[in-house]
């Protein structure tokens, strides 16, 4: 399978850099799967899991909270506002993230922002529930 270059960068560090088969992005208007040769696209991200497939049948999950994806010619750069690999996730971290999202929800009166915060809370709750299994 054709591969392409993928980079996942958060403000604090580079989380992933290398050749991958496919990446699923939680784009603002719905999930997008990026394969090699994707048309140039720039998308904003919402809160959700980003799935990196670097070998067939091997998916890595990273929780991202907001950010940008820049799909260029055979390369994908994701600038995540916050990014946490699934294996580093714990109950406390998620609780903190949920609290932050709830604070963001309460702090704004803008309908679109409220909606975004609401979906972020739902995603985080889901992630927390999934963690218990």
Select the residue interacting with another protein from 5, 47, 48, 73 (CB under 8 A): 73
Q: How far is the CB of 79 from another protein (least distance, A)?
A: 6
Asked if 28 interacts with another protein (CB under 8 A), we say yes
Asked if 11 interacts with another protein (CB under 8 A), we say yes
Q: What is the three-state SS of the chain?
A: CCCEEEEEECCCCEEEEEEECEEEEEECCEEEEEECCCCCEEEEECCEEEEEEEECCEEEEEEEEEEEEEEECCEEEEEEEEEEEHHHCCHHHHHHHHHHHHHHHHHCCCHHHHHHHHHHHHHHHHHHHHHCC
In the bound state with another protein, the residue whose beta carbon lies nearer, of 54 and 70, is 70
Stretch that binds another protein, among 28-36, 52-60, 89-97, 118-126 (CB under 8 A): 28-36
Q: How far is the CB of 40 from another protein (least distance, A)?
A: 4
Binding site for another protein (CB under 8 A): 7, 9-14, 27-29, 32, 39-44, 68, 70, 72-73, 77, 79, 81
């Amino acid at each position: 399978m054709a591969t392409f270059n993928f980079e996942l960068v958060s403000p604090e560090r580079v989380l992933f850099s290398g050749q991958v088969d496919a990446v699923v992005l939680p784009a603002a208007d719905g999930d997008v799967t990026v394969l090699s040769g994707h048309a140039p696209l720039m998308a904003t991200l919402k809160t959700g899991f980003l799935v990196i497939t670097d070998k067939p049948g091997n998916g890595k999950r990273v929780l991202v909270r907001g950010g940008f994806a820049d799909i260029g010619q055979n390369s994908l750069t994701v600038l995540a506002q916050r990014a946490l690999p699934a294996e580093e996730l714990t109950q406390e971290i998620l609780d903190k993230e949920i609290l932050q999202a709830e604070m963001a929800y309460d702090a704004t009166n803008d309908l679109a922002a409220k909606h975004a915060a609401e979906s972020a809370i739902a995603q985080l709750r889901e992630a927390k529930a999934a963690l218990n299994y």
